[in-house]
Amino acid sequence: MNFRSISNRIRLDAVGIALSALCAVHCVLTIVLISALGFAGSWLLAPELHTWGLVAATVIAGVAIGVGAIRHRRRMPFVVAMTGLTFMGGALAAPHGVEEAVLTIIGVGLVSAGHILNLRHHTPGHRAESLREGR
């Protein structure tokens, strides 16, 4: 296995985790800013922002976790991340507000967990441990 390809996949997983965290912060700040202060609603609630965020999350998760699943033959990171993307997609259909934020936060948490599981299978120690156990 090429060190460069491992490094790129680790970077993609790190970007996926960071994007998930930014999304969760966006959800919480949107609720706080709009309900408490009553401003920034037009930008923070823009449907395009949510759509493009889901597109970015899908592409990054698809590449990083998809390639990882093919290489390390573990389904769990892929299943967890795709479940998260499903929640995020469901949030697009929900009305703006608490319901949308809850679905999105559950979704980004699962996508982030998928990236973390995928990262665990990239580490050299895990590979050696898997080989010793015959997996």
What residue numbers bound the domain in which 91 lies?
A: 3-133
Q: Per residue of the chain (135 residues), what is the pLDDT tens digit?
A: 555 555 777 788 888 888 888 877 777 776 676 666 665 556 666 777 778 878 888 888 888 888 888 888 888 999 999 999 999 889 888 887 788 888 988 998 999 899 888 888 765 554 444 444 444
Are the C-beta atoms of residues 101 and 27 closer than 8 Å to each other? Answer: yes
Q: How many structural domains does the chain have?
A: 1
Q: What is the CATH number of the domain that holds 47?
A: 1.20.120
Residues in CB range of 23: below 8 A, 6 or more apart: 53, 57, 104, 108
Distance CA 5, CA 3 (A): 6
3-state secondary structure of 73: coil
CA 66 to CA 99: how far, in whole Å?
29
Q: Identify the pLDDT of residue 135.
A: 44
